[in-house]
């Protein structure tokens, strides 16, 4: 994989590169990329904000000057504590969305109620 191959896949106006990879395969990769990009939502842990998630954004801005390929949204989880402990399945103080709806209903008050169980 050369820089020219990646350019062909990622950029609409890049010329077909000199490569042993068939045009059919590269066009399939280009089609897949166009289907999945831009990313609608990237979710990760709060501990990755200062490095991984920041550079995730920097890299997209560096590669595509137009915003059409930039991620639409980035969310970080892990900011909530319950009884001074992180909320996680391993500590047992965590509910899945289905469990929360079953226990508290799906109305707007569920979010506040779920956080204080």
- Domain span holding position 103: 88-117
DSSP 31-67: HHHHHH-S-S-EEEEGGGIIIIIHHHHHHHHHH-SSG
Distance from C-alpha of 74 to C-alpha of 69, rounded to nearest angstrom: 14
Report the domain count for the chain.
Answer: 3
**40-85, pLDDT tens digit by residue?**
888 888 888 888 889 999 999 998 888 888 999 888 877 666 677 7
Whether residue 3 is found in the same domain as residue 32: yes
Whether residue 25 is found in the same domain as residue 15: yes
**17-33, pLDDT tens digit by residue?**
999 999 999 999 999 99
| Predicted structure pTM score | 0.59
pLDDT at position 117: 46
Nearest to 30 by CA among 41, 19, 14, 46: 14
Report the share of the chain in percent with pLDDT over 90.
34
């Amino acid at each position: 994989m050369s820089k020219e191959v990646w350019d062909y896949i990622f950029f609409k106006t890049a010329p077909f590169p000199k490569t042993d990879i068939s045009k059919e395969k590269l066009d399939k990769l280009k089609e897949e990329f166009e289907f999945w990009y831009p990313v609608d939502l990237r979710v990760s842990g709060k501990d990755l904000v200062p490095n991984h998630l920041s550079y995730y954004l920097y890299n997209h801005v560096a590669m595509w000057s137009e915003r059409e390929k930039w991620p639409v949204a980035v969310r970080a989880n892990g900011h909530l504590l319950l009884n001074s402990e992180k909320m996680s399945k391993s500590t047992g103080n965590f509910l899945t969305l289905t469990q929360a709806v079953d226990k508290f209903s799906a109305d707007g008050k569920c979010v506040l109620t779920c956080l204080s169980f």
